Structure 1
Amino acid sequence: MMNRLLVVGAGGHGCVVAETALRTEIWSDVAHLDDLLERPQLQTGVEILGSINDLETLTRSRDQFVIAVGDNTVRLRLFEDLKRHLVPASVIAPEALVSKTVAIGDGAVIMAGAIVNVGVVLGEACILNTASTIEHGVTLGPGVHVGPGAILGGDVEVGARTFIGMGARVLPGVSLGDDVVVGAGAVVVHDLPEAGVYLGVPARPAPVQRPCP
């Protein structure tokens, strides 16, 4: 059993990550770091030790960390900063179904009910949220977030920091570039190499919002 896991972020997502970590029984203790010290704890009972700026005074030699921040760019930046000081951990829910052939990057979070099939490669600091499905041969770049109930078909490739919204579908063999946002419920039927927001069935670029004259 490892000594302690520091969950960076104590919002809703952070609380779910902390509770998931406790269910694994890998760590003897789980605590939060969060710059909002008065943040409510959603009844998990996990303590906020202090802010991220207090890292050097709060950490122990055997501590591990995981970044529980939903914003992909911020999560990846914090991950790169903290891994210079602490050992990153991946948190995998006991209720997730993960093939033994999956390559899991440091700092990944795999939530309850997620299915991750043969030959998948997960980059650093990825999130596979509740009941998401990642089919065979998928490759996710660093900082990707796959939302609850989203499904990625076989051999999909996803670039860094891309977000795939709740219930979205990406058809087999499709490639998504870096910093793509796929809206909730969208269905991606062809490659989306350019950064941007894509909505609908099939997924198309979101209309540009122009200010009223």
Structure 2
Amino acid sequence: MTKRTERERIFVFGASGHAKVVIDILERQGLYEIAFLVDDDPSLKGTRFYGHDIVGGKQELLNIKDQICGGIVAIGNNKARISVAKWLTDNQIDLVSAIHPSVQLGRGVTVAAGTVIMAGAIINSDSRVGRNSIVNTKASIDHDCTIGDGVHVAPGATLCGTVSIGDGTFVCAGVTIIPNLTIGRNALVGAGSTVIHDVYDRELVVGSPARRIKALEEP
């Protein structure tokens, strides 16, 4: 008879609609036990969210971090998620990933710590997804793509083969990016756009074909 092993205890940082999805993925994944939630909104301390206790914010987490093996940041906004993830890493708190059981990962795919891959997503052979990124519901990433750190690929987006997405970039819902393109760091690709040319760092592009609208401020 195989001995049953206990699941590692982790926390989820965030208590929002996005956090609901992350919690659901973790529960379906079955690798971890969610010990508690953390959120910097002081009004949430001592309440429950989606079946789990919110213990407080960063300071409360530091006081009890020896009770868990790691955690995940469940914040949809790239800038906020990257900031919290950096704080956790600076405080020697490990990050885990959440991958929905329905996700299809091809041969040679790597997914770094802190990243969330949501239901129905497809990531094909030899693609790489960086730290603290989101590949949202039914997004499709084809072979040999590179997704940087702190990226959000929104629901239904399609990345053809050998596309590179820079750190901190948001690819909105329903975007299509043709093969062999580079999307810069901290860029924003508007919903429904078809991208047929490279996109520079901190550039907003919209439309089909996508056109430059303006330069974005430093993150």
User: Which residue identity does 1:7 align to in structure 2?
Assistant: V
Q: What is the match of residue 148 of structure 1?
A: 155
Q: What is the match of residue 60 of structure 2?
A: 54
**Shift >4 Å, 4+ stretches:** none
Paired residues for 1:82-101 under 5 Å:
82-83=88-89, 84-101=91-108
Structure 1 position 113, deviation (Å)? 0.5
Deviations 1:155-184 (A, max 9, x none): 000111000001111111111000110011
Q: What is the match of residue 17 of structure 1?
A: 22
Q: What is the match of residue 180 of structure 1?
A: 187
Q: What is the match of residue 211 of structure 1?
A: none
Matches of 1:129 and 1:70, distance apart in 2:
10
Residue 166 (structure 1) aligned to one of 138, 151, 173: 173
Matches of 1:189 and 1:180, distance apart in 2:
15
The structure-2 alpha-carbon separation of the partners of 1:191 and 1:98, relative to structure 1 and needing over 3 Å to count, comes to same
Query: What secondary structure, in the 3-state scheme, does the structure 2 residue paired with 1:88 have?
Result: coil
Matches of 1:194 and 1:43, distance apart in 2:
37
Residue 201 (structure 2) aligned to one of 194, 198, 210: 194
Matches of 1:67 and 1:56, distance apart in 2:
15
Identity of aligned residues (%): 33
The structure-2 alpha-carbon separation of the partners of 1:100 and 1:143, relative to structure 1 and needing over 3 Å to count, comes to same
Q: What is the match of residue 123 of structure 1?
A: 130
Quick check: 1:35 aligned with 2:35? Answer: no
Query: What secondary structure, in the 3-state scheme, does the structure 2 residue paired with 1:19 have?
Result: helix
Matches of 1:42 and 1:168, distance apart in 2:
36
Q: Which moved more, 1:164-173 or 1:41-50?
A: 41-50
Residue 3 (structure 1) aligned to one of 2, 8, 19: 8
Q: Which moved more, 1:138-147 or 1:20-29?
A: 20-29
Give the CA RMSD over aligned residues. 1.9
Query: What secondary structure, in the 3-state scheme, does the structure 1 residue paired with 2:72 have?
Result: strand
Q: Is the 8 A contact 1:161 1:180 kept in 2?
A: yes
Number of equivalences = 207
Give the TM-score of the pair, scaled to structure 1: 0.90
Quick check: 1:77 aligned with 2:112? Answer: no
Matches of 1:204 and 1:42, distance apart in 2:
45
Q: Is the 8 A contact 1:18 1:31 kept in 2?
A: no
Alignment gaps of 5+ in structure 2: 1-5
Matches of 2:77 and 2:71, distance apart in 1:
17
Q: What is the match of residue 66 of structure 1?
A: 72
